[in-house]
Amino acid sequence: MDIKGKIIQKMDLQSGTSKAGNAWKKQEYVLETLDSYPRKVKFDFFGDRADQYPLEVGDVITLSFDIESREFNGRWYTDIRGFKAMKEDPNMAAAPAPYPPAPGAPAPAPAPTDDGMAAPAPPIDSTFDQGGAGDDLPF
């Protein structure tokens, strides 16, 4: 899953050694979505990804993550584990995506060519039969 937002908090790096003797580390962040009703999401990078994706407060990112739950002593805990973060260029304003034309709306006029004349319209697809002698539908 993906989510886009701004890093608003960076927690201290946590590290240790597992029972098996393996070193581990975890970096946690809080991201605030850019929606009209912003949500705050705490997530982490575990292991090598903590170094691979160094983020700072104020960074606008698109986070790819997995949600994982586990049980411990009869209680359930849920983690949002990031596996990829793409930083957005702060100088690039996001252009809104154009809305598709409404069904049945007329097609936009063709752009004029270099000589000032409109480009020819594309050919009409004649494979679509709008009814005829062989149409036996009651409506």
Q: Which residue has the higher pLDDT, 123 or 41?
A: 41
pLDDT tens per residue, range 33-67: 999 999 999 999 999 999 999 999 999 999 999 99
Confidence of residue 138 (pLDDT cuts 50, 70, 90): confident
> Which whole-number Å values give the CA distances from 47 to 20, 58, 59, 61, 75, in the listed order?
15, 23, 21, 20, 24
pLDDT at 88: 87
Instruction: Please provide residue 71's backbone torsions phi and psi, each rounded to the nearest 5 degrees.
Output: -105, 140
Number of domains in the chain: 1
Strands 40-46 and 60-72: unpaired
Supply the CATH number for residue 37's domain: 2.40.50.140
| Residue 118: inside a domain | no
| Residue 68: inside a domain | yes
Q: Which residue has the higher pLDDT, 54 or 105?
A: 54
